[in-house]
Amino acid sequence: MNFDFLSNPDYDILGAFWVTVQLTLLAAAGSMIWGTILAAMRVSPVPLMRGFGTAYVNIFRNTPLTLILIAMSVVLSNKLGLVLASKSSPTFIKDNNFRLAVLGLVIYTSTFVCESIRSGINTVPAGQAEAARAIGLRFSQVLWIVILPQALRSVVAPLASVLIALTKNTTVASAIGVAEASLLMSTMVENESDALLGVFSIFALGFVVLTLPTGLLLGWVANKATVKR
């Protein structure tokens, strides 16, 4: 295998993976917040919020991420005029696309976070909610003080697989030109045609390094966090 391309300064492989990591972390934080709110809506007593939550999840979970990200750029930014970076900045296009990609990833990933948390709510014994209601807590208190803290502990494992899927999904951001790992790889396989296998192994290794420890670490956390019943 030929690894000469590693010494070529044109290819900032670590930089590209750093963008992948940034996309992952920002989108993970956003999806966690928005996904929890969606889950709260889906179990709330307000019918319209329940309906909105259900419709949102069914629509965005069933749309290809590629389509969501392209729509972010073509529809949301170009037609609706949503600009997420300062237009006078010299890196405007780059910043705007990066932030649109994060937003698109949040819109898509939050549906999976929402469904995981909702299934976690189901694992909390009914007695917990009944006891909370019996001492006079309101719905919002029942949910935020009693149910969600217990539910979140039991969904660490499914949320870990959502996070791993998100890490892999950040590659789709290349569809709107975000300079992350897959965009660099597609340039490199064309330029370094004699080193195809080497290029592939480096990028595959990069993703294994990103996803494997995440899985192991969060698997350990999941074991620690689960409420033993």
Query: Which positions from 24 through 83 interact with another protein, judged by CB under 8 A?
Result: 43, 45-50, 52, 58-59, 61-67, 70-71, 74-75, 78-81
Nearest CA among 79, 105, 106, 109 for reference residue 176: 105
Site residues for another protein, 99-128, by CB under 8 A, read 108-109, 112, 115-116, 118-119, 121-122, 124, 126
Interface size with another protein, residues (CB under 8 A): 72
By CB under 8 A, name the one of 102, 174, 178, 179 that touches another protein: 174
3 state DSSP class of 44:
coil
Burial of 101 (0-12, 13-18, 19+ CB in 10 A): buried
Decide: is 223 part of the binding site for another protein (CB under 8 A): no
Stretch that binds another protein, among 11-19, 85-93, 96-104, 158-166 (CB under 8 A): 158-166
Decide: is 131 part of the binding site for another protein (CB under 8 A): no
Cβ contacts of 213 within 8 Å, gap of 6 or more: none
| For another protein, the closer CB: 99 or 162 | 162
Q: In the complex, what is the shortest distance from the CB of residue 25 to another protein, in angstroms, rounded to a whole number?
A: 16
Nearest CA among 116, 112, 76 for reference residue 97: 76
Element (H, E) at 55: helix 47-61
> Which DSSP category does 80 fall into?
S
By CB under 8 A, name the one of 145, 204, 216, 217 that touches another protein: 204
Tell me the helix, strand and coil percentages in the chain, rounded to 5: 80, 0, 20
By CB under 8 A, name the one of 86, 91, 186, 223 that touches another protein: 186
Residue with tokens 């009914």: 126
By CB under 8 A, name the one of 6, 212, 217, 227 that touches another protein: 212
| For another protein, the closer CB: 64 or 89 | 64
By CB under 8 A, name the one of 3, 12, 145, 190 that touches another protein: 190
| For another protein, the closer CB: 7 or 193 | 193
| Distance in angstroms (rounded) separating the CA atoms of residues 223 and 48 | 37
